[in-house]
Amino acid sequence: MASYDPDFHGVDPGKETWPADAEPRRRGCLFYGCVGAVVLSVLLMLALALAALVSYRTIVRYRDMYTSDAPVELPKLATSEEERARAVARVEAFRKAVEAGEAVGPLSLSGDDLNALIQESPRLKDHVFLSIVGDHLKARVSIPLTELQDFSLTRGRYLNGEAEVKVALRDGRVKLEVVSMLAEGKELPPMVRDILARSDIVLDDEDDEDDEDDTDEDRRFKGFLRRIASLEVKDGAMVITPRPPSGPAPPEGAARSGPGA
């Protein structure tokens, strides 16, 4: 879950504004959906910052300034269908090995690999395009606002922009740092930039336990994260390193080795 902790300022009474308990719309999250969760959590954080700090009229004005009534076309994946299928198969083989507790080396993914995985997600396909520059992940997006929260202010509006983030995973916690963000080619308002600059986003449950509302895919994804030692973006690639597999427990009643065995 994306955590967010700004000081709250009041909004105009009687006006519909962003719901106080806004969360991204829940869907089953496959392994390759982690990248999508990163992007959508950054966008949700932006929306919550606006909702918490400004009035209804200002929200409407910012919506009109920083979103559009039409999507934009994003770059197309510059790989063949065969290459895309190989990337997906490589990731699936890694996921299955990790879930089975098998020994497997780190998985390195290029920007093309990440975009190949995005094509597997109906929610993200044609809405997100990723690239990796050094240790930063860059995302170009054209996303319906209803993907973040579906109510009257968001219907028929699209967020067309780009974000640059640093992402890392430690101990099952995906942490994000927003480096920069543009919407409709414009820099965000200073107060929102300040919030993004001093805030972290953490994708996990605080108690590290499965939630009763989790889907089977949510639980599977959390279980997968717990088996990952680290996720880093460095040298133009996303590198995912699994934890070493635990050794098998000795059979019940097995003889002990050593003196007196």
- Residue 238's pLDDT band, with cuts at 50, 70 and 90, is very high
Domain count, the chain: 1
The lowest-confidence range among 3-7, 77-81, 151-155, 188-192 is: 3-7
Give which of 244, 172, 170 is closest to 210, Cα–Cα: 172
CB atoms within 10 A of CB 141: 24
CA dist., res. 1 & res. 66, Å (int): 25
Give the model confidence (pLDDT) of 76-96 as tens digits: 888 899 999 999 999 999 999
HEC secondary structure over 85-122: HHHHHHHHHHHHHHHCCCCCCCEEECHHHHHHHHCCCC
Give the model confidence (pLDDT) of 103-127 as tens digits: 999 999 999 999 998 888 888 888 8
How far apart, in Å, are the Cα atoms of 17 and each of 113, 120, 151, 198?
38, 33, 9, 24
Give which of 251, 213, 214, 244 is closest to 228, Cα–Cα: 244
| Mean pLDDT, the chain, whole residue set | 74
**Does residue 257 lie within any of the structural domains?**
no
Give the model confidence (pLDDT) of 23-45 as tens digits: 444 333 445 556 556 666 666 66
Helical H segments across 24-68, by residue range? 33-53, 56-66
**Does residue 25 lie within any of the structural domains?**
no
Mean pLDDT over 119-141 rounds to 88
**Does residue 6 lie within any of the structural domains?**
no
> pLDDT at position 247, please?
54
CA dist., res. 38 & res. 136, Å (int): 13
Could you tell me which residues come within 8 angstroms of residue 141 by beta carbon, excluding any fewer than 6 positions away?
A: 39, 43, 74, 127, 128, 129, 159, 160, 161, 162, 163
Structural domain of residue 171, as residue ranges? 33-206+213-242
CB atoms within 10 A of CB 51: 21
- The residue among 186 and 218 whose pLDDT is bigger is 186
Mean pLDDT over 180-198 rounds to 77
CA dist., res. 118 & res. 91, Å (int): 12
> pLDDT at position 219, please?
76
**Does residue 123 lie within any of the structural domains?**
yes
Q: Which residue type, as a one-letter code, is found at position 204?
A: D
**Does residue 255 lie within any of the structural domains?**
no
pTM: 0.71
- Residue 256's pLDDT band, with cuts at 50, 70 and 90, is very low
> pLDDT at position 61, please?
82
Q: Is 247 exposed, middle or buried (0-12, 13-18, 19+ CB in 10 A)?
A: exposed
**Does residue 21 lie within any of the structural domains?**
no
**Does residue 145 lie within any of the structural domains?**
yes
Which pair of tokens denotes residue 222?
A: 């959390």
How wide is the angle at C-alpha 23 spanned by C-alphas 122 and 31, nearest 5°?
40
Give which of 132, 116, 118 is closest to 40, Cα–Cα: 118
| CA quadruple 19, 196, 180, 226: dihedral sign | negative
**Does residue 28 lie within any of the structural domains?**
no
